[in-house]
Amino acid sequence: MTASAAWDRNATPTAKPRLSAYRRVATHDVDEAAEQIGRIFCPHGLQPKAETARDFLALHNCAAFDGFSINYVAYGGVVTIDPGCLDRFFLVQLPFSGAASIRAASREVATGPDDAASLLSPTLPTRMVWDNCAQLILLLDRRLVEQRAAALSGRTVQPVEFDPAIALAADHGLRLSAHMLELADLAERLGDERNLPAVMAANWRETLLDILLQQPGSGLSEAIRLHSGRADTLPGAVRRARDLLDAHAAEPLDLAELAAAAGVGIRALQGAFRRHFGMSISDMLLDIRLARLNAQLMTAAPDARIIDIAFELGFSHLGRMAGAYRDKFGETPSATLQRVQRSRSGLTN
């Protein structure tokens, strides 16, 4: 009997499963479910509650794109899922039906439709109990998130940990759930035989990263606002100078012109940058250029050359550029480009 036929023996936890053209797992067998879903996400323990074991069923539909995927996962009965640390990815779980309780490190979160969703960080040990639950799940590659956080906040790459609770009635919850549903709609229109065009995939990555990194509870939102010059507490002169650096990042730095345009002296501007950003003006310019290099490598064409991108961004010394990029993002520019191209190749093979 095929998995699809086995699945049809009993009713699913929700009347209308999403992403049905992307079916990966459909089974009533616990071991099979743990093994097959573990291949898509990560190895995990799966234990049905004894009283509901006869109701067990598992369904996983997965539309995978470049650096992210949208998934529909449903379990019949009450099951305990123990993945430990996810390690390689972040998961946003949007409940469609039933209920789920999540423990992420020391936090306990109860989720349900129209109430709360969950956001699982890769470095936090996680354990979940799903009760006849179906969820739409967004997966985002860990390196993608951490590199973007570094690019936007002025920090080096480091683990990012979010508050696991997402209030669906709050603005950020509404925005995130709306885009997850829109992505599922798009995947269903494409069907399993068609890939998302590279430009569209890049736009979706940018949108999803932007939404995720604005989530409260990580400390990132304020750091990003400060580093980008958007923080309300920044003096006007500092904000103007930061905006000018961003607008003319590919041009040589002229401190005298920058200070004059900001309306202060050079020393005053230098001191203000160190107080408010914790870095010099030249370090800020380097950070802006490195962030743009990372973003362009993430969307680079197969025949792209790092040297061409670097020169366009204002880098004149490739060796120093590569060293600074490695210090910030934890890998060389060529490693980023190769990883992105391998990911795309894996999706088309």
Contact 258, 241 (CB under 8 A): yes
Rounded Cα gap, residues 226 and 242, in angstroms: 10
- Quick one: pLDDT band at residue 102, thresholds 50, 70, 90? very high
Q: Which long-range contacts (CB under 8 A, 24 or more apart) does 53-56 make?
A: 53/77, 55/10, 55/132, 56/28, 56/30
Rounded Cα gap, residues 1 and 67, in angstroms: 34
In degrees rounded to 5, what are phi and psi of residue 45? -80, 140
Rounded Cα gap, residues 74 and 59, in angstroms: 5
- Quick one: pLDDT band at residue 5, thresholds 50, 70, 90? very low
pLDDT of 274 above 80: yes
Q: Which CATH number fits domain 3-221: 2.60.120.10, 3.40.220.10, 3.40.50.2000, 3.40.50.10860?
A: 2.60.120.10
- The domain 279-349 belongs to what CATH superfamily? Homeodomain-like (1.10.10.60)
CA nearest neighbour of 263 among 281, 228, 237 = 237
CA distances 83 to 42, 121, 125, 145, 161, Å, are: 7, 12, 8, 20, 17
pLDDT of 18 above 50: yes
Block residue for tokens 């095929």 = 2
pLDDT of 293 above 80: yes
pLDDT of residue 2: 41
pLDDT tens profile 221-256:
888 888 988 888 899 999 999 999 999 999 999 999
- Quick one: pLDDT band at residue 216, thresholds 50, 70, 90? confident
pLDDT of 16 above 90: no
Rounded Cα gap, residues 176 and 215, in angstroms: 9
Round the average pLDDT of the chain to a whole number and report it: 91
Span 276-294, average pLDDT: 95
Span 190-201, average pLDDT: 83
In degrees rounded to 5, what are phi and psi of residue 306? -60, -40
pLDDT of 101 above 90: yes
Any idea which of 11-15, 34-38, 40-44, 330-334 has the lowest mean pLDDT? 11-15
Helix axes 142-153, 198-212, angle to 10 degrees: 70
Rounded Cα gap, residues 242 and 233, in angstroms: 14
3-state SS, residue 132? strand
Q: Which tokens go with 134? A: 């179906």
